[in-house]
Amino acid sequence: MRQFTIHHDGVTIPMARGGRGRPLVLCPGLNSTQADLRELTELLRRDHDVVTFDLRGHGLASAADRYSFEAFLSDLAAVLAGLESLGLPTAPVLVGYSLSADLAVHHASEHPDTVAGLVLIDGANPVPEPFITEADLPEFRAMWEDLATRQQARRGTARQVLLTAQEILDLNVEIDAMRSAILDRYRKIDRPISMIMSTLMAGDDGDARAARYNRNWRAGVERLVRDRPHISASWLDADHGLVFTHAPEIAQIIRSAQRPAGQATP
């Protein structure tokens, strides 16, 4: 993989490119880095010209003074603008995981000519109910405080995440609000869209709350496919970490030819 960087909005974004074939930009999600997606990157490089990068405050990217949805969206836009100097033969397919699935939908709805298609991995889901309610805030705050503590051990590495627990919580509340209106974004996109979703997004520990989250997750995808029947949805028996645990399956789905409109693969 060839390494290079771009600079925008006061941050430095590291990028890497390698492989051959159809151009593809692989976008990590919140609390993940391009180093975390190495297995999936290596699999996709066999038949794609793959570009990866780190979002601000993640991996080898520099820290920033703001970590909002719009700030991360500007990172994606800067990366795609930077590709113009690389001489890609065609617009790339955008593969976005989690937060970056949402970023991909927002970007494509505003700049459709810059992408050839979208592959959305466990994100950009128009769920009928918000995930983070007032009653859920203490649980989520505790979960992300624990995560931020564990991430201290990765500081100074290609897998570091510099966001605080409060910044992660604030961003997830913002994403929840974005998803309440994301159907309108999908309606503006005329490019092929495939979704790769987890059946157990919130895990499978028998907890009633996790079961509710999982039902809400599936209901969101079903709602989307009803509204936009040309979107294909594939399901993997996994939790939200599917990009780390099911990379070969995900790579195969991405390689596969377009399925019939609205078809959901078990």
Give the per-residue pLDDT at 222: 97
What is the rounded distance in angstroms from the CA atom of residue 150 to the CA atom of residue 51?
A: 28
Ranges of each domain in the chain:
2-128+179-265
HSE value, Cβ hemisphere, 13 Å, CA-based, for 164: 6
Q: Token digits for 93?
A: 């397919």
Residue 262 has pLDDT above 70, yes or no: no
Q: What would the pLDDT profile of 48-88 be if each residue is shown by its tens digit? A: 999 999 999 999 999 999 999 999 999 999 999 999 888 88
pTM higher than the cut 0.75: yes
What is the rounded distance in angstroms from the CA atom of residue 116 to the CA atom of residue 147?
A: 35
Does the structural domain 2-128+179-265 have CATH classification 3.40.50.1820? yes
Q: How many Å separate Cα 19 from the centre of its chain? A: 21
Q: What would the pLDDT profile of 181-240 be if each residue is shown by its tens digit? A: 999 999 999 999 999 999 999 998 878 889 999 999 999 999 999 999 999 999 999 999
Confidence of residue 257 (pLDDT cuts 50, 70, 90): very low
Residue 261 has pLDDT above 70, yes or no: no
What is the rounded distance in angstroms from the CA atom of residue 254 to the CA atom of residue 85?
A: 26
Residue 258 has pLDDT above 80, yes or no: no
Give the per-residue pLDDT at 236: 98
Asked if residue 217 lies in contact with residue 202, where contact means CB atoms within 8 angstroms, the answer is yes
Give the per-residue pLDDT at 88: 86
What is the rounded distance in angstroms from the CA atom of residue 206 to the CA atom of residue 8?
A: 45
Q: What would the pLDDT profile of 130-140 be if each residue is shown by its tens digit? A: 989 898 899 89
DSSP state of 161: B
What is the rounded distance in angstroms from the CA atom of residue 96 to the CA atom of residue 122?
A: 9
pLDDT over 90 for what percent of the chain?
88
Instruction: Provide the mean pLDDT of the chain.
Output: 93
